Amino acid sequence: MGQPGSSPPDHVTPEDRILAVDTVAALNAVHPALLTARTMVRVAGYHTPGDGGGTLLRWDPASTAAGNGGTVHNPYRRPVGRWLVVHAGVGDFRMFGVFGRDTPADDALDAMVGDPSIQRVEAHTDLRFVKRHTFGRSDIELDFGGHTVHTDGIERNTHDNPFGAVLYFRGTPTGAPVVHTLTETVPELSDVFQVPDAKQFAVGQWWTATSNPLTGADERELQKMVQVTQIVDATHIRVGYLNGWQLDPGRTVTWQRVEPVRRAHVRNMVFLGFVAFTGEYPGSGPDDREYSGSHPVAYEYAVRCDVEGIHATGTWWPVIMRRWCTHFTTANCTLKNPPTVMYGGAGYLTQQIYCLYGHVVDCRSSNARHLNDLTASAYCTVENCHGDGDDAGGNPFTTHGQYEHDLVFTGNSGLMDIANSGGQWGISAKRITIRRHVCSWFVAGTKITDLTLEDVRVIARSTFDPAGTLQVNADGIQMRGCSARTLSIAQRSARSRRPNIIADCEFDQPAGTVIHQTPVSNPVHFVRTTFRGLDGAILRGAGPVRFTDCVLTGSPGAAPLQIGAAEVVVHGGALTDTGIELSAVRDQRLVVGGGATVTGTNARGALLSRAAGTGQVRIELGDYRSTAAGAATAHVRVDTGVNRYRAVGARFAGGRLVLSEAGFGGTSTLLHTGCVEDGVGRELPADSARIVTTDNLTV
φ/ψ of 637, rounded to 5, equals -125, 115
Of 105, 21, 14, 31, the C-alpha closest to 55 is 21
Looking at the domain 174-257, which fold is it?
Elongation Factor Tu (Ef-tu); domain 3 (2.40.30)
Distance, CA of 639 to CA of 642 (rounded, Å): 9
Mean pLDDT estimate for the chain: 95
β-bridge pairing 82-86 and 72-73: antiparallel
Q: Is the per-residue pLDDT at 3 higher than 60?
A: no
Q: Is the pLDDT of residue 1 over 60?
A: no
Residue 401 reports pLDDT greater than 80: yes
264-279 in b/e form (b: 16+ CB < 10 A) is: bbbbbbbbbbbbbeee
Query: Which pLDDT value is given to residue 287?
Result: 56
Query: Average of pLDDT values for 317-335?
Result: 98
- Please check whether residue 391 is in contact with residue 366, taking contact to mean a CB–CB distance below 8 angstroms: no
Within 10 angstroms of residue 342's Cβ, the number of other Cβ atoms is 10
Domain boundaries, the chain: 1-86, 174-257, 509-699
Beta bridge pairs of residue 531: 507, 552
At residue 155, does pLDDT exceed 90? yes
Q: How confident is the model at residue 476 (pLDDT cuts 50, 70, 90)?
A: very high
- Please compute, for residue 588, the number of CA atoms within 13 A of its CA located in the half-sphere on the CB side: 31
The pLDDT score that the predictor gives to residue 698 is 94
Instruction: Please name the helix (run of DSSP H) or strand (run of DSSP E) that holds residue 160, with its range, or none.
Output: none
Q: What is the pLDDT of residues 496-549, one digit of tens each?
A: 999 999 999 999 999 999 999 999 999 999 999 999 999 999 999 999 999 999
**Quick one: average pLDDT of 219-245?**
98
The span from the CA of 34 to the CA of 75, in Å, is 14
Instruction: Output phi, psi for 502, to 5 deg.
Output: -120, 105
Residues of the chain with pLDDT > 90: what percent?
92
Q: Give 509's DSSP letter.
A: P
Per-residue model confidence (pLDDT) at position 34: 86
Going by their DSSP bridges, the two strands 140-150 and 120-122 should be labelled as: parallel
Mean pLDDT of 421-439: 97
Helix %, strand %, coil % of the chain (to 5): 5, 45, 50
| Average pLDDT, integer, range 412-431 | 96
Confidence check: pLDDT of 152 > 80: yes
Is the distance from CB of 335 to CB of 312 less than 8 angstroms?
Answer: yes
DSSP bridge pairs for 261: 302
- What percent of the chain is modeled with pLDDT above 70? 96
Residue 461, number of CB atoms within 10 A of its CB: 16
Count CB atoms within 10 A of the CB of residue 158: 10
Half-sphere exposure of 691 (CA within 13 A, CB side): 15
From the list 144, 248, 240, the residue with the least C-alpha distance to 194 is 248
Continuous segment of H or E residues that includes residue 289: helix 289-292
Q: Is the confidence at residue 204, as pLDDT, over 70? A: yes
DSSP state letter for 392: T
Question: Of 679, 677, 680, 682, whose CA–CA distance to 660 is shortest?
Answer: 682
Please determine, for residue 444, whether its predicted confidence score (pLDDT) is greater than 90: yes
The closest of 645, 652, 658, 595 to 629, measured between CA atoms, is: 652
Q: Cα dihedral sign for 473, 474, 480, 485?
A: positive
Positive or negative: CA dihedral 66, 70, 74, 77: positive
CA 403 – CA 344 distance, rounded (Å): 19
When pLDDT is cut at 50, 70 and 90, the band that residue 11 belongs to is: very low
Residue pLDDT, tens place only, 651-665? 999 999 999 999 999
Collapsing DSSP to helix, strand or coil, 617 comes out as strand
AA letter at 660 = S
Q: Following CA atoms 471, 475, 481, 484 in sequence, which dihedral angle do they give, to the nearest 10 degrees?
A: 10
**pLDDT of amino acid 13:** 47
163 forms beta bridges with none
Residue 440: the pLDDT is 96
CA 679 from centroid of its chain's CA atoms: 58
Q: What is the DSSP letter of 688?
A: B
Distances (CA, A) of 401 to 189, 419, 471: 19, 3, 15
Write the single-letter amino acid at 471: Q
Is residue 342 pLDDT above 60, yes or no? yes
667 alpha-carbon distance from chain centroid:
55
φ/ψ of 108, rounded to 5, equals -65, -45
Q: Does residue 156 carry a pLDDT above 80?
A: yes
DSSP 295-348: -SEEEEEEES--EEEEEEES-SS-SEEEEEEEEEEEES-EEE--S-SSSTT-SE
Q: What are phi and psi of 96, to 5 degrees?
A: -105, 5
In DSSP notation, 81-123 reads -EEEEE-SSEEEGGGGT--STTS--HHHHHHHHT-TT--EEE-
Cross-strand partners of 432:
407
